[in-house]
């Protein structure tokens, strides 16, 4: 398929201002070199320091990644020491990322874990089951980030948990014999205790442990900005704090060739011809709580009220329509939702109708799975295609609290309109000005054990999110 923009030889643009490294086999991951034809160039430049950290990381991953000598020896040592209860002295240190929740949650938590790997000099491997096979390209040159399925660490069940070793107040409860592997779960649980993961003291403890399993399902990057020992590095890596996830996301997540074919063919067939592309991400977690009709009204109120879409005038004279067509401004609406209802409803609204602005509106919905499915490769592929297509829109509308929308806006560098909860919020929707995802479950205590009264005003660069007021984001 032909890219919508003219091909330029500009290596810089192709490699996203140095964020990406050259040298990859181009055919193995076409999207890496073509995404810049589809996304507008980003005004956010990665800092030279971030670029140098990434190049060093790639080198480390080549030395310590799966199938290397260091990796094989280290894994043997860790397995052995697990049996005799002492900590192994390994050549490299590792993170094994574990999945939790849907694809959006997984993407933001992988990005967070990768930044943690950069900050702590660890190598990050991902435990991808069949459900994520063939979604993404390998991100690191000449190596793999996939944890081999035959690894003795594929299963983290029997590994000692971080929660059981860390106590309130950040006190040191690990004895001299550090375990060789520890399962750190930063995910939400209604009974979960404070993890003090944002505290220097616990970071010092964790630095002794060769293998960390990291499970979160959250964008926990704001907690690094609360951790004193990480501050200097972070400031150097991200002088512009609010594009942290934008850079990490564009560095790590490249659609596989199969995903890219689906994305680009849909784009070419339906969206490329439009003067403007409008992405609507309609996330309804429970239709009983937020009924379709209520959500549909809210979408119309938001898009018509803010002139993202024109009002309908009346039935169009079909005899005039064909001659009009060439002159008309065409807007293509991409509807991303589990429910077909939304795309169909919007399509009916505009079909054979003229609009106050004279614009022609076409509506497309690539998929409608009706429900969220787990451990399903095809379902995840559709989700990834939807996220990426949303990131290619000129105007974006996303739903409150949805990590799916967080990923789309950051990859596309867009400031979406956020639809608020139609049942609980007085506001319909509002323009969002940051690319950063919201960290839904931030720390509750200072490192001395005292409760944080208001986490949104207690740390520099960290404020409450508007779409989920309990959470925080980088500003
Ligand atoms: P969140 O729950 O909105 O924060 O987003 P997640 O991505 O973590 O989880 C929702 C999951 O439901 C997705 O990963 C998909 O599997 C599915 N899903 C939700 N909305 C959509 C959508 O618009 N399109 C597709 N294809 N899948 C969706």
Residues 170 and 268 occupy one common structural domain: no
Mean pLDDT of 148-177: 72
Domains contained in the chain, number: 2
pLDDT-based confidence at 5, cuts 50/70/90?
low
Ligand 1 is surrounded, with C-beta below 6 A, by: 101-105, 281, 283, 336-338, 367, 369, 372, 379, 382-383, 386, 402-404
Mean pLDDT of 272-297: 97
Mean pLDDT of 188-212: 89
129, 135, 137, 143 alpha-carbon torsion, rounded to 10°: 10
Within a domain: residue 10? no
pLDDT tens profile 96-139: 999 999 999 999 999 999 999 999 999 999 999 999 999 999 99
Among 404, 408, 440, 465, say which to mutate for ligand 1: greatest number of ligand atoms within 8 Å of CB.
Answer: 404
Residues 176 and 132 occupy one common structural domain: yes
User: Residue 100's domain spans which residues?
Assistant: 42-252
- Atom of ligand 1 minimally distant from the CA of 373: 16
- State percent of the chain over pLDDT 90: 84
Using the mean position of ligand 1's atoms as its centre, give its distance from the Cα of residue 102 in Å: 6
Residues 276 and 145 occupy one common structural domain: no
CA-nearest residue, atom 27 of ligand 1 = 383
Which residues, in sequence order, are CB contacts of 112 under 8 Å at separation 6+?
216, 218, 219, 220, 221
Residues 282 and 398 occupy one common structural domain: yes
pLDDT tens profile 41-54: 999 999 999 999 99
pLDDT-based confidence at 3, cuts 50/70/90?
low
pLDDT of 88? 82
pLDDT of 171? 46
- SS3 per residue for the chain: CCCCCCCCCCHHHHCCCCCCCCCCCHHHCHHHHHHHHHCCCCCCCCCHHHHHHHHHHHHHHHHHCCCCHHHHHHHHHHHHHHHHCCCCCCCCCEEEEECCCCHHHHHHHHHHHHHHHHHHCCEEEECCCHHHCCCECCCCCCCCCECCCCCCCCCCCCCCECCCCCCHHHCCCCCCCCCCEEEEECCCCCCCCCCCCCCHHHHHHHCCCCEEEEECCCCCHHHHCCCHHHHHHHHHHCCCHHHHHHHHHHHHCCECHHHHHHHHHHHHHHHCCCCEEEEEEECCCCCCCCCHHHHHHHHHHHHHHCCCCCCEEEECCHHHHHHHCCCCCEEEEEEEECCHHHHHHHHHHHCCEEECCCCEEEEECCCCCCCCCCCCHHHHHHHHHHHHHHHCCCEEEEECCCHHHHHHHHHHCCCCEEECCCCCCCCCEEECCCCCCCECCCCCECCCCCECCCCCCCCCCEEECCCCCCCEEEC
Within a domain: residue 473? no
Within a domain: residue 443? no
For residue 6, pLDDT beyond 60 = no
Residues 84 and 140 occupy one common structural domain: yes
Within a domain: residue 293? yes
Using the mean position of ligand 1's atoms as its centre, give its distance from the Cα of residue 104 in Å: 7
Within a domain: residue 191? yes
Using the mean position of ligand 1's atoms as its centre, give its distance from the Cα of residue 162 in Å: 29
Among 104, 262, 418, say which to mutate for ligand 1: greatest number of ligand atoms within 8 Å of CB.
Answer: 104
Residues 386 and 291 occupy one common structural domain: yes
- Atom of ligand 1 minimally distant from the CA of 281: 23
The answer to whether the CB of 53 falls within 8 A of the CB of 21 is no
Using the mean position of ligand 1's atoms as its centre, give its distance from the Cα of residue 66 in Å: 31
ipTM of the complex: 0.99
Within a domain: residue 380? yes
For residue 143, pLDDT beyond 80 = yes
Using the mean position of ligand 1's atoms as its centre, give its distance from the Cα of residue 322 in Å: 38
For residue 244, pLDDT beyond 80 = yes
CATH code, 308:
3.40.50.11350
pLDDT tens profile 353-369: 999 999 999 999 999 99
For residue 317, pLDDT beyond 70 = no
pLDDT of 81? 86
Domain final position from 252, 287, 303: 252
Domain final position from 217, 252, 287: 252
Residues 248 and 369 occupy one common structural domain: no
pLDDT of 136? 98
Among 131, 188, 280, 338, say which to mutate for ligand 1: greatest number of ligand atoms within 8 Å of CB.
Answer: 338
Residues 209 and 123 occupy one common structural domain: yes
- Atom of ligand 1 minimally distant from the CA of 104: 7
Residues 157 and 269 occupy one common structural domain: no
pLDDT of 327? 65
Using the mean position of ligand 1's atoms as its centre, give its distance from the Cα of residue 372 in Å: 7
For residue 7, pLDDT beyond 50 = no
Give the other-Cβ count within 10 Å of 121's Cβ. Answer: 12
Within a domain: residue 169? yes
Tell me the HSE value of 64 on the side-chain side, using a 13 A CA sphere: 23
Using the mean position of ligand 1's atoms as its centre, give its distance from the Cα of residue 121 in Å: 32
Domain final position from 194, 219, 252: 252
Residues 203 and 342 occupy one common structural domain: no
Using the mean position of ligand 1's atoms as its centre, give its distance from the Cα of residue 390 in Å: 13
pLDDT of 161? 85
Residues 212 and 339 occupy one common structural domain: no
- Atom of ligand 1 minimally distant from the CA of 367: 26
Using the mean position of ligand 1's atoms as its centre, give its distance from the Cα of residue 217 in Å: 13
Using the mean position of ligand 1's atoms as its centre, give its distance from the Cα of residue 10 in Å: 35
For residue 464, pLDDT beyond 50 = yes
pLDDT of 14? 86
Residues 279 and 373 occupy one common structural domain: yes
pLDDT of 185? 93
pLDDT tens profile 405-453: 999 999 999 999 999 999 999 999 999 988 999 999 999 999 999 999 9
pLDDT of 170? 45
- Atom of ligand 1 minimally distant from the CA of 101: 8
- Atom of ligand 1 minimally distant from the CA of 401: 4
For residue 9, pLDDT beyond 80 = no
Mean pLDDT of 268-285: 98
- State percent of the chain over pLDDT 70: 92
Point out the least confidently predicted range of 151-155, 248-252, 258-262. Answer: 151-155
For residue 350, pLDDT beyond 50 = yes
CA-nearest residue, atom 3 of ligand 1 = 402
Which residues, in sequence order, are CB contacts of 94 under 8 Å at separation 6+?
64, 74, 122, 123, 124, 125, 210, 211, 212
Within a domain: residue 366? yes
pLDDT-based confidence at 169, cuts 50/70/90?
very low
């Amino acid at each position: 398929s032909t890219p919508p923009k003219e091909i330029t030889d500009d290596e810089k643009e192709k490699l996203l201002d140095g964020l990406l490294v050259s040298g990859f086999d181009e055919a193995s991951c076409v999207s890496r070199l073509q995404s810049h034809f589809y996304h507008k160039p980003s005004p956010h430049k990665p800092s030279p320091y971030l670029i140098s950290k990434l190049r060093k990381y790639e080198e480390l991953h080549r030395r310590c990644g799966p199938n290397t000598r260091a990796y094989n020896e280290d894994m043997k040592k860790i397995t052995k020491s697990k049996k005799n209860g002492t900590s192994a002295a390994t050549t490299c240190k590792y993170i094994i990322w574990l999945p939790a929740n849907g694809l959006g949650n997984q993407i933001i938590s992988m990005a967070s874990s990768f930044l943690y790997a950069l900050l702590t000099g660890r190598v990050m491997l991902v435990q991808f089951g069949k459900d994520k096979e063939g979604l993404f390209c390998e991100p690191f040159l000449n190596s793999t980030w996939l944890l081999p399925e035959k690894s003795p660490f594929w299963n983290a069940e029997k590994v000692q948990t971080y929660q059981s070793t860390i106590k309130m107040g950040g006190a040191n409860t690990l004895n001299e014999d550090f375990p060789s592997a520890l399962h750190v779960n930063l995910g939400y649980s209604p009974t979960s205790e404070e993890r003090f993961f944002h505290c220097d003291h616990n970071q010092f403890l964790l630095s002794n442990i060769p293998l960390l399993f990291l499970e979160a399902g959250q964008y926990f990057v704001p907690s690094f900005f609360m951790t004193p020992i990480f501050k200097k590095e972070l400031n150097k890596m991200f002088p512009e704090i609010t594009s942290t996830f934008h850079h990490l996301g564009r560095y790590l997540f490249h659609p596989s060739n199969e995903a890219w074919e689906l994305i680009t063919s849909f784009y070419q067939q339906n969206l490329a011809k439009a003067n403007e592309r409008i992405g609507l991400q309609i996330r309804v977690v429970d239709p009983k709580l937020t009924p379709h009709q209520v959500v549909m009204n809210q979408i119309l109120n938001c898009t018509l009220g803010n002139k993202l879409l024109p009002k309908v005038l009346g039935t169009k004279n079909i005899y005039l329509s064909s001659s009009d067509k060439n002159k008309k401004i065409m807007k293509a609406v991409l509807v991303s939702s589990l429910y077909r209802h939304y795309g169909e409803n919007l399509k009916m609204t505009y079909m054979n109708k003229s609009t106050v602005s004279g614009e022609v509106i076409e509506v497309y919905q690539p998929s409608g799975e009706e429900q969220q499915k787990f451990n399903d490769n095809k379902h995840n592929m559709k989700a990834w295609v939807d996220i990426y297509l949303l990131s290619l829109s000129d105007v974006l509308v996303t739903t409150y609290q949805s990590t799916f929308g967080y990923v789309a806006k950051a990859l596309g560098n867009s400031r979406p309109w956020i639809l608020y909860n139609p049942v609980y919020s007085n506001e319909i929707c509002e323009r969002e000005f940051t690319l950063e995802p919201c960290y839904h479950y931030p720390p509750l205590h200072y490192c001395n054990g005292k409760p944080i009264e208001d986490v949104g005003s207690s740390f520099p660069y960290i404020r409450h999110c508007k779409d989920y007021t309990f959470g925080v984001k980088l500003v």
